[in-house]
Amino acid sequence: MLFSGLTGVSRRLRSWGDALPSQCAFCHAWPARRVCNACAARFAQPAHRCGRCALRVPPGVAVCGACLRAPPLLDGCLAAVDYAYPWAEALAEFKFRGDPGWAGALASLLRDIPGMTAALEAADCVLPVPLSSERLRERGFNQAALLARRLAGPKADNATLLRLHATEAQSGLPRAERLRNLRGAFAVEPARAGAVAGKRVMLVDDVMTTGATLQAAAEALRAAGAAHVTAAVLACTGLD
């Protein structure tokens, strides 16, 4: 019983970790937030990205060639950083090592993306990409839901977009196979269809690899009548 109580305290402390004075996770400056201002400025510099898929593009290019040839179902996509040092390790701690205290620091990076304020104001609702029930039980929380709540406050909605079934491991698969794996994986909760039909929706996820997950989620939202679908992701791997 004592062990259970201590575990609960530990979890609460980790969830508050971004708000308590501590060392910066990267440079170890003290006192600092989870990511100090200097490290955020150093490792999260804005990049020129395609407005539809968030891949890097040369300055002055608004939409990449791939999106011009085959426009995605997303009307736009914003990304904070590349999936590289030190963010890859931070995301591993957040997702796989049970440290939800990263949510505040990572949501701050999302909030600082150029154009994010306008995108949030324009959105009627902000939907995290849901996990399967199996993955949610395994992890204990949905990292996208924590980011969405920190980013969008009352606009964040965890109940409207559903994940109907688990999918095979996606790592290492090309985009076409990922899309096949995800076919029919998402749906809008029928009782909440009014939250989507005719509305402007923003999806939130932690990492975008090929964009297949966001594409599948956007397809479900379009089928439910969403008028406009954008996405915001913390990190983009740079794979097409």
Helix axes 175-182, 212-223, angle to 10 degrees: 40
- State the pLDDT at residue 20: 55
| Domain boundaries along the sequence of the chain | 45-236
Q: Along the chain (240 residues), what's the average pLDDT of each consecutive run of 10 residues?
A: 38 45 87 91 94 95 95 96 96 91 95 96 97 89 97 96 75 60 85 95 95 93 97 86
DSSP state of 239: -
* pLDDT value for 110: 97
**Hey, what CATH class is 45-236 in?**
alpha beta
Name the token pair of 89: 């390790």
CA distance 46 to 97: 28
- pLDDT value at position 185? 85
- How confident is the model at residue 14, as a pLDDT? 43
Q: Which structure tokens are listed for 74?
A: 């997303």
* Per-state percent for the chain, helix, strand, coil, to nearest 5: 40, 15, 40
